[in-house]
Amino acid sequence: MNMERIGVKEGNYHLSNYDKTYQQFDWDEVKQAFSWSRTGKVNIAYEAIDRHAENPMKTDQVALIYSSPDREETYTFSDLKQSSNQFANVLKKYGIEKGDRVFIFMPRSPEFYSAFFGILKVGAIAGPLFEAFMEQAVRDRLEDSEASMLVTTPELLERVPHKELAHLKQIVLVGEDDNKEGSFIDFHEEMNQASKSFDVEWVDLEDGMLLHYTSGSTGKPKGVYHVHHAMIQHYQTAKWVLDLHENDVYWCTADPGWVTGTSYGIFGPWLNGVTNVVVGGRFSPENWYKTLQDYEVTVWYSAPTAFRKLMSAGSQAIEPFDLSKLRHITSVGEPLNPEVIVWGLEAFKLRIHDTWWMTETGAQVICNYPAIDIKPGSMGKPVPGVVASIIDNEGNELPPNQMGNLAIKAPWPSMMRAIWKRPEKYESYFLNNWYISGDSAYYDEEGYFWFQGRLDDVINTSGERVGPFEVESKLIEHPAVAEAGVIGKPHPERGEIIKAFITLNEGYVQSDELLDDIRQFVKKGLSAHATPRELEVKDSIPKTRSGKIMRRLLKSWELGLPTGDVSTLEE
C-alpha cells in the first residue's frame, strides 16, 4: 500500500470541494442555519436543544443515548429541553444570574446535560470539571473563576473545600445526600418541583458561555473563556470534519471536562440535531466495540491514545463485533501515528482522520476531511474560513517546509475571548494579529500541515494537557520533597508520561515506600493523570541563574540528547 497518501472513498460528503470552499467561504453563510439570524435572539442552548424540540419533525428524535454499567437511558430533544428548563428554573430560584459562573463536577450522566444547558439558558457561564480532579485542582478552578454555585455528587463533595471558598455560596448535590453537614440543594427534589417551561435568557453573540481551565508551562491553570458566537464554528466543522448528516449516530469519547467533550461531545452534534451517544464507566476494548455495535454508531471521534490501546488489544478483540454501520472516524489530542492509520484501514476498513486544535481555539482548526487525501502523519489542512500559517519569532510568515510557530490569524468565530481575569496573559498569545499556538510545525507545498512538537514544556499524556509547574508545586508540598522538575517522557501508548526529578529534604532517605507515598500524594491532591509515573531522586535540580527550572536540560539528560546551550545554568 502507498502510505504516502490514502485516497478518498466515494461518498456524499459535506465538504466535497475543499479547495473551492476554502477560497470562497465566508462565516456569514453559516448564520442562516441559526434561528437568531431571523429572530435576533441568541442562546447556544436554544440552538442546540430547543430549536429541535420545537420542530415537530425532530422533537421526539433521540438526542441522547446514555449508557453506563448501571444505567441505560435515552432522551429526546423534547426531554432535554424540559429537563434543562427545569434546572434553569432551579438556578433562577437560587438567584443565579447572567454572567455568574456555575461549575459542574460530576461524571457524565443525563443530569450533567440538564445542568449544563440549564446554566446556559439563564445566561450563566458553565465550568465543567473533569471528574478525576482532586482537591487542589478543584480548589484552583473554583477560586480563580469565583464560581458562585457548584453542581456535584455526594461522592465527589469531599474533594471540594467548600468552606474555604468565599465566593461559592451554593452547592447542588446530585444523588442521595447522606447526612452531609451543611445545607445543600437537592438536585432531584428541586427538579421535581421545578416547572418544565422557561423563558430562555437571550444574550449577545459575544457573551460568555463556557470556562475551560487548561495548563501552560508556568503558573496555575488558566481559565479559557468562550462565548456563544463559537456555535458557528462548532456547527459548521461538525459538518465538514465529522461529516454529520441528519440520521447519524455519533459517539465522542471525550469527557466534557475537556474542550473536546463540550465542543464536539455537546455542541457539534446537537447543533446539527444528531443522536449523541454518551458512555460512562471504564475503558475496555470490548466495551468500546460493543458501544459501536449496539448503538449502531456511524461517526466516531476519539484520540490516538485510545486507538493505540485498541490496536494493542489485537484483531481478535474486534472480530466478535459487527461494526458495519461505522462510516467515519476522527481523532484529536496528540499526533496520530501513521501506523495507527494503517491499523484503522485494516480493522475498520476506514481512514482515521486526524484533527488539530486546542482549548484556546474552541473548535477544530487544521483537519483531514473525508473528501481530501490523507497523508499519514499530517494534521491536514485549515478549516475553510480560518487562516493558519507558520511564522518566525518576529511574526513573519515562513514559506513551505520550514519549521516554525504554528499560528492562526485572529479572530475566528470560536476563538477564546479572554483568559479569565488575566488580560496580560491573553495578550501574550498574540503577535502581529497571529494567535501563537505553542506548537511547532511546517506545511508542505500542497498546504498540508505537519506537527513537530510543543515549543513550551507542556506535557501531553494520553491526550491530556498537563502543566509541569502544577505537578512541581504539588510535589514540593510533600514534606520530603525539597525541589522538583517535571518533564514529559515519550511513551509508546500514552504519547508521553510524566517524569519527575526531585531532591529530598534533610532527614529523608530514598525508599520505594517514600517514592510511592509521594506519588500517591500528587494523585490525591491533583489527579491521576497528573501523577508522575516515574520519580527519580537527584542531588540537585538544574536551574537558571534567575531560578527557573531547566526542564529542557532534564529532558536532554533523560533522553540522552545533546544538552545545547547551558550558559544560563546556575553554578
**Where do contacts with ligand WT7 occur on this chain (CB under 6 A)?**
214, 259-260, 332-335, 354-359, 379, 437-439, 451, 454, 460, 465
Residue 412 or 451: which CB sits closer to ligand WT7? Answer: 451
Q: How far is the CB of 364 from ligand WT7 (least distance, A)?
A: 8
Sheet containing 275-279: order of strands: 71-76, 62-68, 275-279, 249-252, 299-302, 328-332, 352-356, 366-367, 381-382
| Angle of helix 468-475 versus helix 512-525 axis, rounded to 10 | 120
Phi, psi of 300 (to 5 degrees): -130, 130
Can you tell me which residue has the cell 440549564?
Answer: 118
Report yes or no: 353 and 370 within 8 Å, Cβ to Cβ.
yes
Residue 160 or 224: which CB sits closer to ligand WT7? Answer: 224
Q: How far is the CB of 437 from ligand WT7 (least distance, A)?
A: 5
Q: How far apart are CA 514 and CA 168, in angstroms?
A: 36
Residue 96 or 266: which CB sits closer to ligand WT7? Answer: 266
Residue 88 or 436: which CB sits closer to ligand WT7? Answer: 436
From residue 535, alpha-carbon distances to 60, 215, 362, 481, 529 in Å are 54, 21, 34, 11, 15
Q: How far is the CB of 470 from ligand WT7 (least distance, A)?
A: 13
Residue 66 or 449: which CB sits closer to ligand WT7? Answer: 449
Report yes or no: 244 and 250 within 8 Å, Cβ to Cβ.
yes
Q: How far is the CB of 92 from ligand WT7 (least distance, A)?
A: 33
Length of the chain: 571
Residue 298 or 437: which CB sits closer to ligand WT7? Answer: 437
Phi, psi of 461 (to 5 degrees): -110, 120
Q: How far is the CB of 352 from ligand WT7 (least distance, A)?
A: 11
Residue 123 or 256: which CB sits closer to ligand WT7? Answer: 256
- What is Dmax (Cα atoms) for the chain? 74
Q: How far is the CB of 385 from ligand WT7 (least distance, A)?
A: 18
Q: How far is the CB of 438 from ligand WT7 (least distance, A)?
A: 6
For 318-394, where are the alpha helices, taking DSSP H only?
338-347
Q: How far is the CB of 419 from ligand WT7 (least distance, A)?
A: 13
Q: How far is the CB of 217 from ligand WT7 (least distance, A)?
A: 12
Q: How far is the CB of 244 from ligand WT7 (least distance, A)?
A: 18
On the 0-12 / 13-18 / 19+ scale of CB atoms within 10 A, 104 is buried
Please spell the DSSP secondary structure of 140-171, one letter per residue.
HHHHHHT-SEEEE-TTTGGG--GGG-TT--EE
Phi, psi of 566 (to 5 degrees): -115, 25
Partners of 486 in the beta sheet? Answer: 500
CA 129, 133, 135: angle at the middle one, nearest 5? 110
Q: How far apart are CA 261 and CA 302, in angstroms?
A: 10
Residue 86 or 437: which CB sits closer to ligand WT7? Answer: 437
Residue 348 or 435: which CB sits closer to ligand WT7? Answer: 435
Residue 165 or 278: which CB sits closer to ligand WT7? Answer: 278
Secondary structure letter of residue 137 according to DSSP: H
Q: Please name the helix (run of DSSP H) or strand (run of DSSP E) that holds residue 468, with its range, or none.
A: helix 468-475
Q: How far is the CB of 441 from ligand WT7 (least distance, A)?
A: 9
Residue 148 or 302: which CB sits closer to ligand WT7? Answer: 302
